[in-house]
Amino acid sequence: MTIHGALIAGTGSCVPERQLTNFDLEKMVDTSNDWIVQRTGIHERRIASAGESSASLAIIAAQRALATANTSPAEIDLIICATITPDMPTPSNACLIQQALGCRRGIGAMDLNAACSGFVYALVTATNFIKTGSAKTVLVVGAETLSRITDYTDRSTCILFGDGAGAAVLKQTTDRSVGVQAFELGSDGTGSMLLHVPAGGSRQPATAESVGAKLHTLKMSGREVFKFAVAQMSESIQKAINACGLTSDQIKLVIPHQSNARIIDSAATKIGLTADRMFVNIHRYGNTSAASVAIALDEAIRAGRCGPGDWVVIIGIGGGLTWATVTVKL
């Protein structure tokens, strides 16, 4: 079997217009701009309007990625959409994207749930389809409307989350030295209740009571998740660097999951990476789960922070618990 390369040929992203600032949140719960900035690094986040959904944001992000990759929807062989907030439990967001883009009938389309690690899990899945020759062009999307499952009376969670989508087009190439060169997928279900939505699934179907008690919103043990993320992020980045026999000096940019600026700073310090080599946009978007590193990758490339030939480490960490890392040569 011939093993191919899988190039990230183009990226795109889309965030809602509407901003929710820390000052807006001060009027909604007992919090302050200073507390949120100091503890998280977040200044504002984007919130979907009534007409928007995770699929509608995903479709625009995908169109932008296709334009950048100079690729037509007809070329797509497979769509993978990472999300924990699909428009509906079924059909998948991926099918809604397939229809909206006008892709060929019969291509593969599926959603993937690995919470905040979802986009990196999807990148790895897409890469392996391409490497083995099962697909030539794959559209990978991370899309969330976390505002739809956030309790805006709970100050410990509502300050963190936002909405948005990012996408990447992966294309088969004969050059195996580009694209994902190493990856790690991880999980630890013993921490599954540290970040969860109690109701609305098959264990506790939605009822008037469950909705009244806000059991369809995210519940998080912030301190425990924080400790896990701090330890996991530095360990995974270091492993990703070692996996390709690189030193940290050779990494042009790390694109970490944007959940808390303190988690990112602590990982950078442990690994000895200067702040300019960690991409950060959490101040503008908060934590957008599966969309987080997808948006960050697109913004980093468009800002010229990384480009063809550069080594980049992308890392997702989140609910499940899950983590996922790729070492990519762009």
Q: Using alpha carbons, select from 277, 328, 322 the residue that is nearest to residue 121.
A: 322
Transcribe 103-140 into DSSP letters. Answer: PPTT-EEEEE--GGGHHHHHHHHHHHHHHTTS-SEEEE
If the CB atoms of residues 37 and 243 are measured against ligand COA, the closer one turns out to be 37
User: Rounded to an integer, what distance in angstroms lies between the CA atom of residue 32 and that of residue 313?
Assistant: 34
CB of 232 to ligand COA, least distance (A): 10
CB of 284 to ligand COA, least distance (A): 17
Close Cβ partners of 28 (under 8 Å, ≥ 6 residues apart): 152, 153, 158
CB of 236 to ligand COA, least distance (A): 13
Q: Is 185 helix (H, G, I), strand (E, B) or coil?
A: strand
If the CB atoms of residues 23 and 102 are measured against ligand COA, the closer one turns out to be 23
Q: 294 with 257: CB under 8 angstroms?
A: no
Task: Return the number of other C-beta atoms located less than 10 Å from residue 249's C-beta.
Answer: 10
What residues are annotated to the active site? 116, 257, 287
CB of 214 to ligand COA, least distance (A): 17
Which residues lie near ligand COA (CB under 6 A)? 31, 35, 39-40, 116, 155-156, 159, 195, 220, 222-223, 225-226, 229, 257, 259-260, 287, 317-318
Torsion angles phi and psi, residue 286, rounded to 5: 65, -155
If the CB atoms of residues 179 and 286 are measured against ligand COA, the closer one turns out to be 286
